[in-house]
Structure 1
Amino acid sequence: MKKIILIFFAVIGNLSFSQCTYHLPDLLILENDTIMFQKSPLYSHPKIDFQKLFLEKGIKPLGWGNTKNFQAEWKIIENKLYLSDIYSCNYLKDNYKADLKDLFKKKYKNGLVHADWYSNTLYAPKGEHIWLGASPGCKIHKSELEFTFKNGVLVKSDVSNNNFFKSIYTENTQNLIEFIEKNIDLREVIVSDEEIIRFTITIKTGSSKNDFSINIKGDIKENNKNEIIKIVKQLPNFDYYHTQGKDYNIIFPFRIAYKKLTD
């Protein structure tokens, strides 16, 4: 008889470095809530080098891969974004924070600085999450709060839900084996005298459960590859991941060995 032996592993592809690099989060004070988010509006300020400001005090980023040595605090008041504090990344120990009045001069009023330089969207994670990839990996939250500003004025707020879906085929690869064995007669699509035929079915995630692409590499003739792709495309669903307003594409290679076995 013949049997499918499937070995599974996954690699991350098509990611921007900023999507899966984690720093000390900034804080957004919104009424009675404190919300954490990764991309600080300070990075888009045209003149002030906040990194240099803290480095001159001997304050260095904490942890491997972390280039951020500050934590900024923000408030939304009457639909405007204000900077209320900039703390050292090691504030609990050194008790150091920036002098906003000295930094921003006339823009500093009543303990706040209107962030009129900022025109972009802040994404704040919410709810359950999963980790993808090897250490440190990438954290995808089920929901995200979205705050869009133009010149420091809030023009849109929203929440995105269902930002990821984990299919049964990556939860347990045996499900993919069963699907292949049920829908493909490999004796017909693979014609070879070799004892073992090895090939890889690569599935790349898209924007939804039904938006995935498939490729095959290995010791199989081109027309037979197309036949296998046609069948695998009939999967009822597959993974998808979404974060910070973008699709997070993952490449899942399923390595297959098709082997003759003796009863």
Structure 2
Amino acid sequence: MKKIMSFIFLLSLTFSAFATEQEMDLLIVENDTIYLKTSLLEKLELETPPFGNTRERAPSTGCWRGYRAIWKIIDNKLYLEKIIRCNSDRGKGEQDLIELFKANGFDFKENNGMILADWVTEDFYKMNFSSSNYYKDKIYLYDGWNEKEKNKDKNLKLKIKSGEIKLNRLKE
């Protein structure tokens, strides 16, 4: 019995796990485009999702949410600039932000068609991964869920509280 269990265990180590990379949200800071591995819009738990997409109706496995959000920092505030369809979606157009927020019953502050993201309180860390040397011109940020304590301060790049930028070390 011990040999069988050992064999099954060793066999299980040979299986690879694969996952489809999700299309990321984008953060525009001046002339830079930053890739966000964290979906800030999901925190609102929208009952009426953008474009009416649900996980069951997602355009592809690379875009379970069915959309990409474009964020912008202006005057040290985070704004939702627009919501676009995924690259794999055959539909056209952008989501009307005002209509979306009204349909979900949220109070919001609008500035030139953008929505102030005052629901966002998040620390963002630079994502370091094994192939990051190949992407030196790109910055990936995430919520730091697995950031080692010794690297937290060094990798902390952006701190947002209620939509206001409290720390911005993106240029470092």
Is the pair's TM-score, using the shorter chain for normalization, greater than 0.5?
yes
Q: Partners of 1:116 and 1:86 in 2: how far apart?
A: 17
Residue identity opposite 1:152 in structure 2: G
Whether contact under 8 Å (1:74, 1:84) holds in the other structure is yes
Q: Residue 61 of structure 2 corresponds to which residue in structure 1?
A: 63
TM-score, scaled to structure 2: 0.59
> Post-superposition shift, 1:55?
3.4
| Secondary structure of the structure 2 residue equivalent to 1:29 | strand
Partner Cα distance (1:121, 1:49) in 2: 27
User: Partners of 1:49 and 1:144 in 2: how far apart?
Assistant: 35
Q: Give the corresponding residue for 1:40.
A: 39
Q: Aligned pair 1:30/2:32, yes or no?
A: no
Compare the two structures and name the one with the higher strand fraction: 1
2:99 matched to 1:102?
yes
Alpha-carbon displacement from aligned partner over 1:212-253 (angstroms, at most 9, x marks no partner) = xxxxxxxxxxxxxxxxxxxxxxxxxxxxxxxxxxxxxxxxxx
Q: Distance in 2 between matches of 1:145 and 1:27?
A: 18
Report the counterpart of residue 77 of structure 1 in structure 2: 74
> Which AA in structure 2 matches 1:149?
I
Structure 1 residue identity aligned to 2:60? L
Shift of 1:29: 0.7
Q: Is the 8 A contact 1:61 1:69 kept in 2?
A: yes
In the alignment, structure 1 residue 156 sits paired with structure 2 residue 167: yes
CA contact (8 A) 1:37 1:125 kept: no
Matched position secondary structure for 1:94: coil
In 1, distance between residues paired with 2:110 and 2:96?
A: 10
- Distance in 1, Cα, partners of 2:130 & 2:84: 29
What CA distance in whole angstroms lies between the structure 2 residues aligned with 1:155 and 1:72? Answer: 22
Aligned sequence identity (%): 32
Indicate the structure whose relative CO is greater, using CA pairs within 8 Å and at least 6 residues apart.
1
Counterpart of 1:108, as a letter, is E
Q: Which among 117, 121, 124 is matched to residue 122 of structure 1? A: 124
Task: Give the superposed CA RMSD.
Answer: 3.6
1:247-262 equivalences under 5 Å are none
Shift of 1:97: 2.1
Distance 1:122 1:68, change over 3 A: farther
Paired residue total: 129
What secondary structure, in the 3-state scheme, does the structure 2 residue paired with 1:148 have? strand
Q: Which amino acid aligns with 1:43?
A: E
Which blocks of at least 5 consecutive residues in structure 1 are unaligned?
A: 1-10, 12-19, 132-139, 162-263
Residues in 1 aligned to 2:159 and 2:97: alpha-carbon distance in whole angstroms: 24
Matched with 1:111 is 113
Largest Rg, 1 or 2? 1
Mapped to 1, the partners of 2:165 and 2:34 lie a distance apart of 16
Structure-1 separation of matches of 2:125 and 2:25: 11
Note if 1:146 corresponds to 2:157.
Answer: yes
